[in-house]
Every structure is written in C-alpha cells, then in structure tokens.
C-alpha cells in the first residue's frame, strides 16, 4: 500500500474554487481537500487521520459560515496541532477584517495572514505557502527525502543527539533498524565490524559514530584541514547570530575567516521554533532556517565553518604572534578573535535529574526531542520567554505541558503575548510556587518529585519529558584571565572595562576586550541586549574594529 500524500484542507464558503485553483500547483505532492464550512473541514480532517494520513496545512477564509475564524483554528488545532494554519482573506474583506485578525498572528493563533491571489503567478503568496510547508516538513518524524541515514537498534541518547544536530544543520535524517532494508543496505557499505549508531551521510562511506563530533567531522571536516602554519585574519568562536554576522561581514570584506562552533550552527536562536521579532520577517522565521541562510551567506563569501568543535582554550598571542584556539581536533591560529560564544542554560543541580539528561531530561527545547513527546505528559521549568516558546512548541506533540515556576505569577517574567498564547492553549497549564526536587525512572525519566516552595509539601507526578530553561550564564570557561569579565562571567568590553585596565587613560574600543585583537559580540558580552537582532548587529559592528586592528590607519 502506498503512503497517502499529506493533506492541505482549503476552507471557504464562497471562494473555495479560487483556493482549489491556486493550490492546484501543489496537487502532485499534497492531497487537496476543499470544504465550505468548519464542519466539513473537521470531517475531512477526521477522514485523513482515520486512514493514517497527515494534515500539513489548513487554509481558511477570514470569515466562515459556522464559526469565528479564531475558534475554527482552535478546533482544527485540537485535531492536528502540527499543521500550519493560514488565513487567505478574500480581497473584498482584506481591509475590513485585517486589523481585527492580524493580532492573532502575533500571538501564534495562526501562522500567516495572506491576501487570496487575484490572478495567476502570485509568487508572494506561494512563497509564504511553500515556506510554511517546508517548516511543516521539518517537523515530520520520518521525512521523505533524507540526506543522512542513521542505523541504530535503539533511540538512545547519542542517536537522538545526532538527529538533533542534523536537524539544526537542516540535514533531514531518519533512523532505521539494522534489519530493515535501509539498514542492510548501509551495513553492506560499511567496511568493518558494525556497531551503532552507524551513520551514512551524503554518500560518504558510513561511520560508526561515538559522538556528535564524529558526525560533524565526517560531514564538515575538522580544523586539522588547515595548514598548521596558516594564520587566518579572523577566528570566530560560536556560530549563533553574533558569530554568523561577524563571519558574513568579515568574509565579505575580504578577511580570511574561520568559525569554530561547539554544536550546530545557530546557537540559541537555532533552537527557537519561531523568531517573530527579527527585522524583515513579518511572518516570523524559524531559528534553524535563519541560521542556515546566514551560514550559506557566509560560506558564499569564503568563510570556513567547523561545527561540533569546542574551543577548549584560547592562548592570546603577544608581540605580534597569532592567537591560538585549541580544539580536540586541532588548533587554529588567528590574527584576531571574535568571542561570540553566547550563553547556556543554568543547571538545575538536582543530582537524579542531571543523571537523566538526554533520557527524557533536556536543557533547552531540543527540537528533535519535542517530536518524541507525542501524546505524553511533559514539564517545562522556567518562567522566561524561552520557556514560553518551548511550551508552545512542545504542545504541538505532547498531550499536556505543565510549566513549573517558583514565582506566584508568570506575567512577572514572560512577555504578555506569550502569556496570552499559553492561556489560549488548552494543552498547557502553569503550576506556580513549585520546584523540581527529585526525579527518576527505569533508564529514562518516568516521574518527578515536586515541592511547594511555600509549604514544603511534596508530591510525585508521572512525567515523560522535562525541559529545563532556567535562565542563562555565559559560555566562558575557555576564556583566559587576560580577557576581563564581570562577576557573572560576561566579557567586558569598551568603557565597561575597569579603569585600571585602560591604556594611556583610554578604554578599549566599543566591542574590544582587554586583549588587543580579541573582541566580543552578542550575549556573551556584559550589558548585551540578549536578542537576535542585537547579537547580529554586534557581530556586524565588530568587523570595522577588526579591520582597523589588522591594518591601523597611518597618521
Ligand atoms: C528558545 C529561545 C528562543 C528565543 N527567541 C528569541 C526571539 O524570538 N527573538 C529574539 O530576539 N531573541 C530570541 N532568543 C534570544 C536569542 O536567540 C539570543 O539572544 C541570540 O541567539 C544570542 O546570539 P549569540 O550569537 O550572542 O549567542 P548564542 O546564540 O548563544 O550562540 C553562541 C554559540 O557559541 C557556541 N559556543 C559556546 N562556547 C563555545 C566554545 N567554547 N567553542 C565553540 N563554540 C562555542 C554555542 O554552541 C552557540 O552555538 C531566544 C533564545 C532561546 C533560547
């Protein structure tokens, strides 16, 4: 039996033929279901789900005969939380309905508010539709087209971590059992004693992966490729928005540029399912997509990226010697360094929970882990915006998401739009004045011990997933003492540097640290704004400073 195509459900009382005509170009890859009311659309949806199919998208007019449009999305979302939701307003109603409906997009009630095409080849409309379908495609557990085949008998911690890395690098992957057809095919190609996970990427000889780094090196190479005597103009540590922007601007201005990234490209932003406030993306953009576009842009200008490479040490050069960055796979020598290593989540420091990291317990909202939470009860610890975004993302799959906070109210720490979105989502609830004090399970998380922070009362709840988003501390254990930092570990730059480290009564330049030729940008910098736009702005702004350091203007 062939697998049915994913469905697109088109809902309009009077213009469903227009929609059907417009979506005709997708009919090869998706099954189109026209409906003239919410009731009919729900019937179509049930039919698709009953025969084991998937709904990729709901497209509806701004007015429906039997339900207000937000309520309609609410009902459709209850049936299929993963489908993308689009309003295609008929042009007769666009101006009148728009102001009332647009607010719903900002709060995530639906994904796009578009004008129904007025004629053929409305590519702006189709651009939005294909972007959303592509976003939907990246959330499908088993994508149709894969770049990397993983052969593994178990969905263990390493297999999951490799998939998470590949997802964040926009490399679709899929896991097969060793005795499946794909498994046998890859095992036949493997030249050695087979072990798992066995990773077959982009037609390269398969490798047995012992770490995510092995996979990263297999696909993207290692710094050992660089000639040891070679000194690059700029080495960027971290490929979040700050590092990516520094790479694009530095390479585009002709400086030889290398980026070393401990995990996947994108940093914290890359783990965000939807960035809604980045300039120029009115419908929002997934962090992974933004990061991969920036990476491609930087590569186009000649940047070399090494992912899965933790910088363990930075040895500042003196008397004109290059700075040396050390990784387990080799060293990079650079005339200048941009520290863009961002921040990482604070640890919970409850021992039984720390032991289950990767086995139901995750720091950050691992996108891949979210998919594994289908129909499960999951918990999110944290009251900030990243906890809010993670909860909304998890609620696409999980049966219930409970946000745990120590404070009595979420509104103190989370943006109003997210608080509203959470209130609206029936799968998400908030448990206030609560701390996680214990947890356990047989090989993976199965239960949590919770404590009321006011009364000390404890109870135990079944839990399949725990996502810890506890606020941030800088990634800085590798930064040498010569680079001055504040009490929390953030790197000091410009006038924030203590006066006793100023030279000739002058502070370092704006984004310059206390070591000549070493700069800092983004969240790792003391006083930074902790946003994608500010991090990328600082990454771009650091480049003129690097330029003048490398080639000082002669007086
Ligand atoms: C879930 C989530 C959602 C968010 N949503 C939004 C949003 O909607 N809008 C918004 O404006 N902001 C948002 N933010 C905040 C935003 O993502 C950050 O402010 C931004 O990513 C900071 O960029 P950065 O480059 O300074 O650091 P990061 O993004 O933290 O990137 C730093 C990178 O450096 C790497 N690194 C660290 N140490 C080393 C080392 N020793 N060697 C090599 N590499 C290293 C890390 O692996 C990481 O990839 C969100 C954050 C999160 C977590």
Phi, psi of 304 (to 5 degrees): -105, 125
Whole-number Å distance between alpha carbons of 149 and 472: 34
DSSP string, 167-234: HHTT--EEEE-TTSHHHHHHHHH--SS--SSEEEETTSPPEE-SSHHHHHHHHH--GGGS-TT-EEEE
Residue nearest to atom 50 of ligand 1 (CA): 269
Mutate to test the pocket of ligand 1, among 269, 288, 365, 388 (most ligand atoms within 8 A of CB): 269
Instruction: Check pLDDT > 60 for residue 554.
Output: no
Give first-to-last CA distance, the chain, whole Å. Answer: 77
> How far is ligand 1, taken at its centre, from the CA of residue 343, in Å?
6
Q: Are 247 and 303 in contact (CB under 8 A)?
A: yes
Residue 524 alpha carbon to ligand 1 centre in Å: 9
pLDDT confidence tier of residue 555, bands split at 50, 70 and 90: very low
In sequence order, the 6+-apart residues with CB closer than 8 A to the CB of 386 are 268, 272, 364, 365, 469
- Closest ligand 1 atom, CA of 341? 34
Least reliable range by pLDDT among 32-41, 223-232, 339-348: 223-232
504-517 exposure pattern, b = at least 16 Cβ within 10 A, e = fewer? eeebbbebbbbbeb
pLDDT band with cut points at 50, 70 and 90 for residue 276: confident
Q: 512 falls in which pLDDT band (50, 70, 90)? A: very high
CA of 266 to the centre of ligand 1 (A): 7
The predicted-structure confidence for 184-202, as pLDDT tens digits, reads as follows 999 999 998 889 999 999 8
**Residue 325: is its pLDDT beyond 60?**
yes
How far is the C-alpha of 107 from the C-alpha of 417, rounded, in Å? 5
Q: What is the pLDDT of residue 68?
A: 93
Q: How far apart, in whole angstroms, are the C-alpha atoms of residue 474 and residue 466?
A: 22
Probe ligand 1: pick from 342, 367, 519, max atoms within 8 Å of CB?
Answer: 342
Report the share of the chain in percent with pLDDT over 90: 70
Determine which residue's CA is closest to atom 53 belonging to ligand 1: 268
**Measuring from atom 26 of ligand 1, which residue has the nearest CA?**
522
Mean pLDDT of the chain: 92
Taking the CA of residue 238 as reference, the ligand 1 atom at the shortest distance is 34
What does the alpha-carbon distance between residue 343 and residue 164 come to, in Å, rounded to a whole number? 19
Separation of CA 20 from chain center? 33
Q: Which atom of ligand 1 is nearest to the CA of 539?
A: 25
The model's pTM: 0.85
Residue 402 CA to ligand 1 center (angstroms) comes to 25
pLDDT of residue 98: 80
Query: pLDDT at position 228, please?
Result: 63
- What whole-number distance in Å separates Cα of residue 445 and Cα of residue 440? 5
Angle at 442 between CA 436 and CA 446, to 5 degrees: 40
Mean pLDDT of 296-302: 97
Residues 6+ apart with CB under 8 A from 170: 138, 288, 289, 292
Are the CB atoms for 89 and 115 separated by under 8 Å?
yes
The binding-site residues of ligand 1, defined as CB within 6 angstroms of any ligand atom, are: 237-243, 260-263, 267-269, 271-272, 275-277, 310-311, 340-343, 365, 386, 389-390, 475, 478, 522-524, 530-533, 535
Residue 256 Cα, ligand 1 centroid: separation in angstroms?
Answer: 24
Ligand 1 nearest atom to the CA of residue 284, by list position: 8
Taking the centre of ligand 1 as the mean of its atom positions, its distance from the CA of residue 518, in whole angstroms, is 20
Percent of the chain past pLDDT 70, that is, above it, reads 97
CA of 339 to the centre of ligand 1 (A): 13
> In the chain, what are the helix, strand and coil shares in percent, each to the nearest 5?
35, 25, 45
Give the pLDDT score at 11: 98
Query: Measuring CA to CA, which residue among 142, 143, 162, 144 is closest to residue 152?
Result: 162
Query: What DSSP line would sit under 418-463, residue for residue?
Result: HHHHHHH-TTEEEE-SEEEEEEE-SSS--EEEEEETTT--EEEEE-
CA distances from 295 to 141, 251, 258, 298, 304 (A): 25, 12, 12, 5, 10
Largest interatomic CA distance in the chain = 78
d(CA 391, CA 381): 10
Q: How high is the pLDDT of residue 553?
A: 57
Calculate mean pLDDT across residues 70-89: 91
Categorize the per-residue pLDDT at 106 as very low, low, confident or very high, splitting at 50, 70 and 90: low
Distance 261 CA to ligand 1 centre (A): 12
Ligand 1 atom with the shortest distance to the CA of 268: 29
Per-residue pLDDT reduced to its tens digit, 415-472? 998 999 899 899 999 999 999 999 999 878 999 999 999 999 999 999 999 999 998 8
- Gap from CA of 344 to ligand 1 centroid (Å): 8
Task: Say what the pLDDT of residue 308 is.
Answer: 93
Cα-to-centroid distance, 48 and ligand 1 (Å)? 39
C-alpha span between 274 and 100 (Å, rounded) = 22
Instruction: Tell me how far the alpha carbon of residue 71 lies from the centroid of ligand 1, in angstroms.
Output: 35
For the chain, the residue count is 555
Separation between Cα atoms, residue 469 and residue 451, nearest integer Å: 18
């Amino acid at each position: 039996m062939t697998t049915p195509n994913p469905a697109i459900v088109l809902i309009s009382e009077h213009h469903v033929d227009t929609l059907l005509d417009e979506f005709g170009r997708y009919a090869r890859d998706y099954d189109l279901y026209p409906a003239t009311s919410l009731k009919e659309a729900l019937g179509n949806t049930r039919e698709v789900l009953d025969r084991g199919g998937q709904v990729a998208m709901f497209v509806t007019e701004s007015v429906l005969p039997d339900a207000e449009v937000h309520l309609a999305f609410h009902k459709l979302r209850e049936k299929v939380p993963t489908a993308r939701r689009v309003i295609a307003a008929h042009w007769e109603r666009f101006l009148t309905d728009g102001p009332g409906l647009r607010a719903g997009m900002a709060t995530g009630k639906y994904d796009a508010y578009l004008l129904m095409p007025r004629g053929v080849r409305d590519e702006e409309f189709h651009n939005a539709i294909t972007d959303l379908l592509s976003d939907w495609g990246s959330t499908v557990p088993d994508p149709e087209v894969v770049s990397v085949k993983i052969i593994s008998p178990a969905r263990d911690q390493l297999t999951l971590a490799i998939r998470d890395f590949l997802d964040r690098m926009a490399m679709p992957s899929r896991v097969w059992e060793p005795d499946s057809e794909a498994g046998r095919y890859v095992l036949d190609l493997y030249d050695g004693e087979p072990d798992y996970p066995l990773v077959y990427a982009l037609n390269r000889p398969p490798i047995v992966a012992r770490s995510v780094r092995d996979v990263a090196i297999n696909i993207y190479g290692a710094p050992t490729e660089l000639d040891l005597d070679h000194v690059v103009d700029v080495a960027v540590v971290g490929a979040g928005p700050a590092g990516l922007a520094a790479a694009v601007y530095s390479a585009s201005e002709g400086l030889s540029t290398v980026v070393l990234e401990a995990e996947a490209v994108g940093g914290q932003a890359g783990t965000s399912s939807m960035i809604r406030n980045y300039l120029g993306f009115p419908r929002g953009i997934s962090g992974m997509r933004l990061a991969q576009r920036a990476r491609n842009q930087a590569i186009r200008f000649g940047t070399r990226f090494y992912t899965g490479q933790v910088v363990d040490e930075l040895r500042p050069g003196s008397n004109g010697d290059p700075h040396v960055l050390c990784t387990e796979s080799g060293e990079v020598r650079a005339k200048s360094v941009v520290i863009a290593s961002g921040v990482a989540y604070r640890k919970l420091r409850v021992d039984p929970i720390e032991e289950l990291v990767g086995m139901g317990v995750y720091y950050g909202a691992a996108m891949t882990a979210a998919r594994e939470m289908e129909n499960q009860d999951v918990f999110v610890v944290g009251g900030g915006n990243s906890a809010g975004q993670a909860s909304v993302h998890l609620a696409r799959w999980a049966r219930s998401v409970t946000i745990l906070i120590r404070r009595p109210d979420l509104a103190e720490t989370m943006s109003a739009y997210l608080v509203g979105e959470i209130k609206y989502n029936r799968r998400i609830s908030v448990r206030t004045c609560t701390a996680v004090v214990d947890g356990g399970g047989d090989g993976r998380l199965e239960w949590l011990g919770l404590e009321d922070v006011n009364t000390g009362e404890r109870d135990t709840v079944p839990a399949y997933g725990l996502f810890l988003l506890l606020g941030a501390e800088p990634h800085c254990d590798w930064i040498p003492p010569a680079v001055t930092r504040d009490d929390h570990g953030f790197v000091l730059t410009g006038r924030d540097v203590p006066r006793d480290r100023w030279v000739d009564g002058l502070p370092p330049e704006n984004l310059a640290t206390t070591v000549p030729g070493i700069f800092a940008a983004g969240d790792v910098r003391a006083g930074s704004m902790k946003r994608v736009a500010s991090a990328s702005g600082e990454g771009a702004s650091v480049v003129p400073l690097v330029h003048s350091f490398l080639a000082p203007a002669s007086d």
